[in-house]
Amino acid sequence: MAGDIDLVVSDIDGTLVTPDKTITPRAAAAVAALRAAGARFTLVSSRPPRGMAAIARALDVALPFAAFNGGAIVSAELEPLRRISLPPDPARQALAVLEAHGVSAWVFDGADWLITDPHGPRVGLEQRTVGFDPLVVSRLDQRLDAVGKIVGVSDDHARLADAEAAVREALGPAGSASRSQAYYLDITPCGADKGSAVLALCARLGVDPARTAVIGDMANDVAMFQVAGLSVAMGQAPAAVQAEALAVTAANTAEGFARAVEEIILPRIG
């Protein structure tokens, strides 16, 4: 039915940007087309707030957006509007489980990205992704007072899957663990997920979640699929993620974001 979408919320990595972390001209034009049609547009990501800032500026996002899988909501000027932190004890538990499984760990504590090994897996990729350098520390457990996200990093996907199950068991209701990429395990506070982020954004903007469309590609996006009126999975998303969405678009290597907007969302905007 035409005219039933007022807000579009998009994931960034694996969705809005290509694998080399760029926004294509067609994707930028699709965002402009949403606004021209009368819909609003914003972002939700596992990235830290300042790691989203360049994308938000490039697309002229003036609305609040959600970082850390929903653990932080900030204004377009990066002013904090909501913040949920992982308490120190669960954070220590998560770090201990990752270490026991031989998985590298990072800590994001708001402004800073903390690592112990600057030559560890995916450090260079993350630097290019978030647009700032990590802070190298001797121990991660010395700065756990304001943890927005812990990331387990491994190119051994089976090892990371084992660590994911163990982290979930160790944390119980104190936190959540889900993949933002096949090689990243995001560990966030209880109540910090993309579903809660979309609901919070809708409440702040005065939009009915049923009149919201969301686009994503990984397990951490399923929570927002479950609360939005229209959910679109990327074509390269795992089958289990695609099964949770109401529609599937092309991959992010084939203009999947732009095609989702052009073919699925715009026809439903009055």
Is the pLDDT at 10 greater than 90, yes or no?
yes
In a domain, 93, yes or no: yes
Which pLDDT value is given to residue 215? 98
Residues 22 and 56 in one domain: yes
Shared-domain flag, residues 40 and 171: no
Q: What is the pLDDT of residues 161-180, one digit of tens each?
A: 999 999 999 999 999 999 99
**pLDDT value of residue 111:** 79
pLDDT at 2: 46
Same domain? For 42 and 162 the reply is no
**Segment 30-53, tens digit of pLDDT:** 999 999 999 999 999 999 999 999
pLDDT at 253 over 50: yes
Task: Give me Rg for the CA atoms of the chain.
Answer: 18
Residues 94, 178 share a domain:
yes
pLDDT per residue as tens digits for the range 56-91: 999 999 999 999 999 999 999 999 999 999 999 999
Residue 242's pLDDT is 98
- Asked whether residue 75 falls in the same domain as residue 208, the answer is yes
Residues 104 and 119 in one domain: yes
Pairing mode of beta strands 104-108, 80-83: unpaired
Phi, psi of 176, deg, nearest 5 = -135, 155
Query: Is residue 135 domain-resident?
Result: yes
Instruction: Count the Cβ atoms, other than its own, within 10 Å of residue 39.
Output: 23
Q: Please indicate, yes or no, whether residues 36 and 79 belong to a single structural domain of this protein.
A: yes
pLDDT of residue 1: 41
Q: What is the mean pLDDT of residues 236-244?
A: 98
Residue 136 belongs to some domain of the structure: yes
CATH number of the domain within which 118 lies: 3.30.1240.10
pLDDT at res. 72: 95
In a domain, 1, yes or no: no
Same domain, 151 and 220: no
pLDDT at position 90, please? 96
Total tally of structural domains belonging to the chain? 2
Q: Are residues 33 and 166 in the same domain?
A: no
Q: What is the CATH number of the domain that holds 76?
A: 3.40.50.1000
Question: Mean of the pLDDT values across residues 197-226?
Answer: 97
Residue 31 belongs to what domain range? 7-83+193-268
pLDDT tens, position by position, 113-159: 999 999 999 999 999 999 999 999 999 998 999 999 999 999 999 99
Q: Are residues 180 and 93 in the same domain?
A: yes
Q: Please, what is the average pLDDT of the chain?
A: 96
Which of 162, 189, 216 is the last residue before a domain boundary?
Answer: 189
With beta carbons less than 8 A apart as the criterion, state whether 59 and 27 touch: no
- Beta carbons of 113 and 135 less than 8 angstroms apart: yes
End residue of a domain, out of 174, 189, 204:
189
Q: Which of 221, 226, 51 lies closest to 132, judged by CA?
A: 51
Quick one: 219 and 238 in the same domain? yes
217 domain-assigned: yes
pLDDT at 226: 98
What is the number of H-type helices and E-type strands within the chain?
9, 14
43 plus 101 within the same structural domain: no
Percentage of the residues of the chain whose pLDDT score is greater than 70:
99
